[in-house]
Amino acid sequence: DVKVTQSSRYLVKRTGEKVFLECVQDMDHENMFWYRQDPGLGLRLIYFSYDVKMKEKGDIPEGYSVSREKKERFSLILESASTNQTSMYLCASSTSGGSYEQYFGPGTRLTVT
Amino acid sequence: EDQVTQSPEALRLQEGESSSLNCSYTVSGLRGLFWYRQDPGKGPEFLFTLYSAGEEKEKERLKATLTKKESFLHITAPKPEDSATYLCAVRGEYGNKLVFGAGTILRVKS
């Protein structure tokens, strides 16, 4: 079974702090994704990566950056956390070919106070 | 721009009462339509991928169908454990991204 793990289930940070969210997948997938999910807005893509050290902006990249130094690990960085970044953050991975379905981690509920 | 609209937003069913969820889409060159199930506080769980009009996939009480403009997720004789949010997503001709709908919240009462 594909397994995607995220470093924390719940996180509470203060405004202005630098926040790191880590994601690891064990299926040798080329693609990895970071989404945020908010009530009424659905899943919105922040960034994705199709290879090590490669990244592309998604629909809402402002206030975020990412890092992919190893194929299995994709990090999301909030440079200076703000209250409007309080959300559920979901990581996903997929292959580049074949059926292409994305497999999701359990999510990190981030609260910025 | 690729778009996905799901309806209804919420659906309440009695146990055993069959129904369907709708996913309407506009996409340039469909390369896959995906259905996911999401339980509260958890990540989405992959259910099905459909690629072409007329295709159908089944899993237990769920059956997904696809036309050129929409997909249906049919739920036959649902049970309370089928309660969840069901998400639909499409992959278009260009790029590696999926575009998700807002989801349908399903509640099945015993």
pLDDT in tens, A33-73: 999 999 888 899 999 999 998 999 999 999 999 999 999 99
DSSP result, A1-35: ---EEES-SEEEE-TT--EEEEEEESS--SEEEEE
Task: With CA atoms as reference, report the closest residue to A56 among A74, A42, A38.
Answer: A74
Q: Is the pLDDT of residue B38 over 90?
A: yes
Give the Cα separation of B64 and B80 in Å (integer). 19
> Best mutation site among A2, A21, A43, A111 for testing chain B: the one with the most B CBs within 10 Å?
A43
> What is residue A95's predicted lDDT score, i.e. its pLDDT?
85
Report CB contact under 8 Å: A42, B102.
yes
The residues, any chain, with a CB within 8 Å of residue B1's CB and separated by 6 or more, are none
Average pLDDT over residues B76-91: 97
Query: What band does B105 get if pLDDT is binned at 50, 70 and 90?
Result: very high
Average pLDDT over residues A63-89: 97
Q: Which two tokens stand for residue B71?
A: 């997909």
The residues, any chain, with a CB within 8 Å of residue B77's CB and separated by 6 or more, are B15, B16, B18, B61
CB B14 within 8 A of CB B65: no
> What is residue B94's predicted lDDT score, i.e. its pLDDT?
74
Give the Cα separation of A43 and B102 in Å (integer). 7
Report CB contact under 8 Å: A100, B49.
yes
Average pLDDT over residues B5-21: 97
Give the Cα separation of B44 and A56 in Å (integer). 22
Residue corresponding to tokens 């295709």? B55
Task: With CA atoms as reference, report the closest residue to B86 among B55, B56, B46, B50.
Answer: B46
Q: Is the pLDDT of residue A31 over 90?
A: yes
> What is residue A41's predicted lDDT score, i.e. its pLDDT?
85
Give the Cα separation of B101 and B21 in Å (integer). 12
Average pLDDT over residues B55-67: 97
Average pLDDT over residues A21-31: 94
Beta bridge partners of B75: B19, B62
Closest chain A C-alpha to B99 CA, distance in angstroms: 8
| Average of per-residue pLDDT values in chain B | 95
> Best mutation site among A47, A100, A108, A109 for testing chain B: the one with the most B CBs within 10 Å?
A100
Report CB contact under 8 Å: B34, A31.
no
CB-neighbour burial class of residue B76 (10 A; exposed 0-12, middle 13-18, buried 19+): middle
> What is residue A2's predicted lDDT score, i.e. its pLDDT?
66
pLDDT tens digit sequence for A91-113: 999 987 777 889 999 999 999 99
**Among chain B residues, CA nearest to A30:** B96
